[in-house]
């Protein structure tokens, strides 16, 4: 079985191949031209399914392929769950921390650099007068595949709880990893060797892998 990942993000693709090592995993770009899916969903699940279905519907051969898409982000308690589905675009929100926490902000349209997003989050904590907050990394994996000629759409959710803290930024780290300390650990996510066994994406993919084994 070949899994088509609905992203061309090299770091995410590497993580998927490590976790789903018994399957062939390819970027959708092997089969299709670049496609930008507008994330209009109000949740991780809605956005993940939008991406999975958009790629699946455009594949020329579907019977022996399945499409896997993810939507993930950081939910910070002090910001009432933000940046959430806007995690990749957080730095492009111009409103202050109090407005963001109340949901009073213009929807950002473009992704921003990881370092910019991290700096925005640190600035929000400073505005709120705190140095840390409980937080969770959340990932929803959406799967589209045919089973017995019938299209199946499934979702798998993983959550890694911990906290956000003031920490030196690592420009080589991924996403918000350099600011996030998983529960039960003292190091930030980017410093933990076994990251792939406790990340939100790993937890969602483990559920997905068990489902795929039923049909491989």
Strand partners, 70: 141
Backbone angles phi, psi at 74, to 5 degrees: -105, 130
Is 176 labelled a binding residue? yes
**Active-site residue identified among 57, 64, 70, 71:** 71
DSSP letters of 41-93? Answer: -SSHHHHHHHHHHHHHHH-S--TTEEEEEEEEEEEEGGGTT-BGGGGGGGGG-
With beta carbons less than 8 A apart as the criterion, state whether 42 and 85 touch: yes
Q: Tell how strand 150-165 and strand 132-147 pair up.
A: antiparallel
Is 118 labelled a binding residue? no
Any catalytic annotation for residue 71? yes
The distance of Cα 108 from the centroid of its chain, to the nearest Å, equals: 17
Is 62 labelled a binding residue? no
Report the C-alpha gap between 150 and 17 in whole angstroms. 27
Is 52 labelled a binding residue? no
Is 195 labelled a binding residue? yes
Is 170 labelled a binding residue? no
Is 94 labelled a binding residue? no
Is 72 labelled a binding residue? yes
Is 7 labelled a binding residue? yes
Angle CA 212–39–79, to nearest 5: 100
Residue set of the binding site: 7-12, 71-72, 174-177, 195, 200-201
Binding residues for substrate: 7-12, 72, 174-177, 195, 200-201
Binding residues for Mg(2+): 71
Q: Which residues does the annotation mark as catalytic?
A: 71
């Amino acid at each position: 079985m070949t899994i088509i990942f609905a992203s061309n993000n090299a770091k995410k693709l590497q993580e998927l191949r490590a976790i789903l090592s018994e399957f062939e995993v390819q970027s959708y770009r092997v089969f299709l031209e670049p496609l930008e899916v507008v994330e209009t969903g109000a949740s991780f699940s809605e956005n993940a399914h939008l991406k999975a279905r958009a790629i699946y519907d455009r594949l020329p051969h579907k019977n022996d392929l399945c499409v896997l898409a993810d939507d993930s982000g950081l939910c910070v308690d002090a910001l009432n769950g933000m940046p959430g589905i806007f995690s990749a675009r957080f730095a492009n929100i111009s409103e202050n921390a109090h407005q963001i926490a109340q949901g009073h902000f213009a929807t950002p349209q473009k992704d921003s650099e990881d370092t910019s997003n991290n700096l925005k989050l640190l600035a929000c904590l400073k505005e709120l007068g705190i140095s840390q907050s409980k937080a969770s990394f959340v990932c929803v994996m959406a799967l589209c595949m045919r089973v017995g000629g019938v299209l199946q759409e499934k979702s798998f959710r993983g959550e890694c709880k911990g906290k956000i803290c003031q920490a030196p930024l690592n420009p080589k780290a991924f996403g918000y990893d350099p600011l996030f300390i998983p529960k039960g650990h003292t190091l930030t996510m980017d410093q933990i060797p076994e990251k792939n066994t406790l990340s939100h994406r790993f937890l969602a993919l483990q559920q997905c892998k068990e489902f795929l084994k039923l049909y491989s």
